[in-house]
């Protein structure tokens, strides 16, 4: 069985393996021992903290195969981004150049450096090892964050964002990056990616263009990928769009991937989740449910057809084995959503 739980110090080696496997462009998990240990410690403190409003908390979860004890994935939420270290994006705009005398009317796209998402919550750090990319595991890894956020809304902003990976070539280099490197940064992508991953972002404010950039002046290879996602990221984007996330013109500085956003209460899995008492019973449902307990530090969640909602009694029926994996007993409260039909 695959179970989500908060990360702890004993998961360091597994987290480093995931960081290596995730490759370039996955800046939230840099291959840096000190930074990874800091992320684990920060997560442990965040789960333990008493919180009345979102701040500098980061909630990092791991997906564990309970049969083998192996950590096979990770997923996370940042409570309020940009409040400590600035979070930068390019905002896409349109400016009008109009001459009535010459009967010329031009609409020109621009990119402007901004910090507009400061204070928003961010869902991030989703990675599932290749052998486990089946049987709803990826869908669950994404949606389980919404179960946690629905249970603890005071810990998160009303605005939730997700940065989607942009287009890259066969060597992992974003076409959008090349013009930035040539004109402004003069460092290679790997170096910039590493600096972002370990939290050293001062060079962005120091070297990035301070004035709006006319998109039409960029190389065609850069223009073509603005707001586009990496081929491997399309399923994740589709899932978020089905949850109600939309792209409002903000893109990543380096690969031009879109940042999508939604209001927390309007996210489909948040709005449709139900919190009801548990009853242990022999059950084989017709749908796959994602179920979570309501604990904070001992948060557990998984998915199974051995769960069924009894609407008449307003009870969540769980098999004994499934309930035990989630540390749930008769009468405990649990939160669930329908993950998919069986």
Q: So which residues are the catalytic ones?
A: 230
Region label for 239, one of left (φ > 0), alpha (ψ between -120 and 50) or beta (otherwise): alpha
DSSP annotation of 224 reads T
The answer to whether the beta carbons of residues 115 and 208 sit under 8 Å apart is no
Contacts of 256 (CB under 8 A, 6+ apart): 90, 166, 167, 174, 176, 222, 225, 226, 227, 228
d(CA 284, CA 210): 59
Measure the CA–CA gap between 20 and 205, rounded to whole angstroms. Answer: 28
Q: Which residues neighbour 317 within 8 Å (Cβ) at sequence distance 6 or greater?
A: 278, 279, 280, 281, 283, 285, 307, 308, 309, 310
Enter the tokens of residue 46.
């965040």
Residues 6+ apart with CB under 8 A from 298: 5, 6, 327
Q: DSSP for 31-76?
A: S-HHHHHHHHHHHHHHHHS--SS--S-EEEEEEEETTTTEEEEEEE
Indicate the helix (H) or strand (E) that contains 19: helix 12-22
For residues 155 and 58, the answer to whether their CB atoms sit within 8 Å is: no
* DSSP designation for 112: E
């Amino acid at each position: 069985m695959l179970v989500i739980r908060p990360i702890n110090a004993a998961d360091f080696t597994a987290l480093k393996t995931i960081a290596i496997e995730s490759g370039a462009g996955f800046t939230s998990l840099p291959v840096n021992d000190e930074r990874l240990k800091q992320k684990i410690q920060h997560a442990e403190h965040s789960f333990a903290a008493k919180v009345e409003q979102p701040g500098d908390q980061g909630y990092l979860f791991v997906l564990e195969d309970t049969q083998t004890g192996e950590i096979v994935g990770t997923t996370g939420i940042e409570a309020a981004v940009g409040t400590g270290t600035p979070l930068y994006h390019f905002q896409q705009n349109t400016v009008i150049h109009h001459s009535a005398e010459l009967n010329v009317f031009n609409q020109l796209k621009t990119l402007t450096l901004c910090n507009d998402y400061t204070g928003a919550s961010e869902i991030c750090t989703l990675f599932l090892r290749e052998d486990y990319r089946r049987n709803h595991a990826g869908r669950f890894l994404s949606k389980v964050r919404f179960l946690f956020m629905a249970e603890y809304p005071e810990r998160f902003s009303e605005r939730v964002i997700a940065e989607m990976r942009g287009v890259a070539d066969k060597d992992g280099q974003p076409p959008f990056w090349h013009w930035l490197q040539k004109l402004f940064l003069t460092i290679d992508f790997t170096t910039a990616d590493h600096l972002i991953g370990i939290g050293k972002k001062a060079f962005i404010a120091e070297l990035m263009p301070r004035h709006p950039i006319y998109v039409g002046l960029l190389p065609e290879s850069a223009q073509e990928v603005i707001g586009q996602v990496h081929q491997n990221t399309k399923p994740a984007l589709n899932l978020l769009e089905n949850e109600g996330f939309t792209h409002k013109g903000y893109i990543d500085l380096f690969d031009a991937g879109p940042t999508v956003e939604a209001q927390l209460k309007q996210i489909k899995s948040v709005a449709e989740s139900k919190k009801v008492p548990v009853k242990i019973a022999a059950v084989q449902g017709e749908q796959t449910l994602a179920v979570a307990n309501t604990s904070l530090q001992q948060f557990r969640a998984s998915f199974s057809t051995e769960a069924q909602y009894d609407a008449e009694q307003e009870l969540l029926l769980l098999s004994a084995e499934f309930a035990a994996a989630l540390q749930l007993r008769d009468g405990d409260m649990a939160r669930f959503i329908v993950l998919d039909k069986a």
